Amino acid sequence: MPEQWRFDLLKKNTTEKARERRGQLARNLFTADPQVDGARILLLDDTFTTGGTMASAAFALKERGATCVVGLSFGRQLGSDWNDNKELISTLPDRDLIIGDCVVHNKGRAHFGAIF
């Protein structure tokens, strides 16, 4: 069991939106605190789109000396026009997106019974 969860060991250096650097490793996107040296890090993110943000954060942590970085995201964004998602999307049941049921588009107020 970890002694303490820390939320202040990684700082984002820009306010630019992820779509500006989608899918790219941005080496200076994050700065990791020197205290991560030798640490095992669990990196949490709300949404995984292309992995660029997660990879950039992991890069900064490893560069600063973290021995292990494991990334976990709670959601995966899919685009029907993304070649690597076409097969996965084709396996999903046919259903329309109801924007009012989407937590992202409805300012965090989703009707979960309608999603599942």
Q: Which two tokens stand for residue 1?
A: 């069991």
The residue ranges of the chain whose pLDDT is under 50 are 1, 110-116
Q: What's the CA gap between 54 and 108, in Å, rounded?
A: 22
Instruction: Indicate the burial class of 36 (C-beta count within 10 angstroms; 0-12, 13-18, 19 or more).
Output: buried
Q: For the segment 38-70, what is each residue's pLDDT rounded down to a tens digit?
A: 999 999 888 887 788 889 999 999 999 999 999
Rounded (10°) CA dihedral 102, 106, 111, 114 = -30
User: What pTM was estimated for this model as a whole?
Assistant: 0.66
Phi–psi pair at 107, nearest 5 degrees: 50, 45
Helix locations, 31-91, DSSP H = 52-63, 86-91
